[in-house]
Amino acid sequence: MILDLAMSYSGYWGRCLEFLKKNNVEVGRLVRVQAEPSYHGIVMPRYEHSDDTHIVLKLKNGYNVGLEIEKISQIEVEPSPPARKESPEHPHADTSLPKILLLSTGGTIASRIDYRTGGVTPALTAAELNASVPELSQIANIDTEVLFSEYSENLMPEHWARIAERLNSCARSDYKGIIVAHGTDTMQYTAAALSFSLLGFPKPVALVGSQRSSDRPSSDAATNLISAARFLVSTDATGFFVVMHNSSSDDEVACHWGTRVRKNHTSKRNAFQTVGGSPAFIIKNDTIEKNALFCTPKREFAPRISFNERVLLLKYFPGLDPEVMSRAVASGCRAIILEGTGLGHVGKSMYEPIKAAKRKGLFVGMTSQCIDGSVRMTVYDSGRDLLSLGVVPLADMIPETALVKAMWALGNAKDAGEMERLMRENLSFEISN
């Protein structure tokens, strides 16, 4: 009973709580508010540290508005429409269209707003995603499957392996391409993991996310899905791409190569960018423009689906305690990716733990914390000192990509020599210059 009461008025206290109770209004109810002006929306929960003078409504346009209770002359609860639990119908198959597989892993693209909690929760299945975007059935016959339903911040290398294993089973199928619906927070990590573990994959795979949930008017989910489907049925490229908005409007969607992409904004629809260049493809309505500088690496398909998590990505900064690295080595870490300054530098205080790591046979690679440009460790004495200690420069590899590649290389290399060779070799366009 106490829990039900807390949920009914979640986050409200003091004067706001008294106001809601007096008017028999609970969180999640549809209300009409007489104020200046009037409002019609759903009462949303608030955080515990919020004030006690405002209530929050979710309006029909998807945006929230805070209303001062002192300025509300009347609030009325309206009957909510009955919840409908329908099984989505699979669109009618057109035998003239190619086949696509849509795999769902969770994330905002497969979520709805929960008006009781105020959060975005996993709710849509792959079939519901397909049915909610009817344009997809005009592009391809789409089979759907839910691998799991997790926010991407919860994904671990074991999830990368599960996705890779399922894709591997489709390598010789009649699917023209595959869409992986995925949360945006760690999509770049998964894209890199698939790029390395499924080198030479013979089909195009589009990882697709959404910055805003599918049931919001401003959602980018439908545009991203439609663009991904068009790309898959039209391209002769193979490999792994992140397909997301290229601008804040719906006029362009970018296809970023899976090892060269990074999420560079927390909330913009065009949060993803290709680092060190332009996207591999740009989709504009029915046209697909290919980057003249982009070419798919030609490799024999050789899946190696194994990851070893004993890797540390360590960002250097003035004042970094060298013991952080020493403790990582002592705890069983087997590879360290340094995110150094400028051309690939760390302070002299880090030299001793680097020596100790190398004596134990660890791989130590250097990337740069600069957004663009390449590691060049022969320019300054400090860089040359690090080279003499055995630190391996990783050119313009994105630090997150280098981390994933090290996990993959560590999981598949026979010895330290092969580990270093794999990290130096440009396997999947992870090095662009």
pLDDT of amino acid 263: 95
pLDDT of amino acid 4: 42
Do 67 and 146 fall into the same domain? Answer: no
Q: Does 91 reside within a domain?
A: no
Q: Does 362 reside within a domain?
A: yes
357 vs 389: CA distance, rounded Å: 10
* Structure token digits, residue 94: 């057109």
Do 240 and 350 fall into the same domain? Answer: no
Compute CA distances 50 → 10, 35, 100, whole Å. 11, 21, 46
pLDDT of amino acid 293: 86
Do 209 and 331 fall into the same domain? Answer: no
Spatial CA neighbour of 102 closest among 157, 166, 49, 18: 166
Other Cβ atoms within 10 Å of 313 Cβ, number:
17
pTM of the model: 0.83
Do 148 and 271 fall into the same domain? Answer: yes
pLDDT of amino acid 405: 98
97 vs 137: CA distance, rounded Å: 9
Q: Which domain holds residue 44?
A: 2-77
Do 33 and 113 fall into the same domain? Answer: no
Do 323 and 197 fall into the same domain? Answer: no
Specify the CATH number for the domain of residue 360.
3.40.50.40
Do 411 and 280 fall into the same domain? Answer: no
Do 106 and 63 fall into the same domain? Answer: no
Do 157 and 231 fall into the same domain? Answer: yes
Spatial CA neighbour of 333 closest among 361, 305, 366: 361
C-alpha angle 159-165-171 in degrees, rounded to nearest 5:
140
Q: Does 335 reside within a domain?
A: yes
Q: Can you tell me whether residue 187 is helix, strand or coil? A: helix
Which residue numbers are catalytic? 108, 184-185, 263
Domain boundary among 19, 46, 77: 77
Contact (CB, 8 A) for 191 and 261: yes
How high is the mean pLDDT in each 10-residue block of the chain (433 residues)? Answer: 53 90 91 90 79 88 85 90 55 85 79 55 62 85 89 94 98 97 95 98 95 65 91 95 90 95 92 95 91 85 97 98 96 97 98 97 97 96 97 98 98 96 96 87
What is the torsion angle, in degrees rounded to the nearest 10, for the CA atoms of residue 317, residue 319, residue 325 and residue 331?
-120
Spatial CA neighbour of 342 closest among 313, 319, 365, 368: 368
Do 154 and 285 fall into the same domain? Answer: yes
Q: Does 330 reside within a domain?
A: yes
Do 188 and 148 fall into the same domain? Answer: yes
Do 260 and 207 fall into the same domain? Answer: yes
Q: Does 158 reside within a domain?
A: yes
Domain count, the chain: 3
pLDDT of amino acid 2: 35
- Output the DSSP codes for 7-62: HHTTT--HHHHHHHHHTT--TT-EEEEESSS-EEEEEEP--TTS-SSEEEEEETTS
Domain boundary among 224, 257, 290: 290
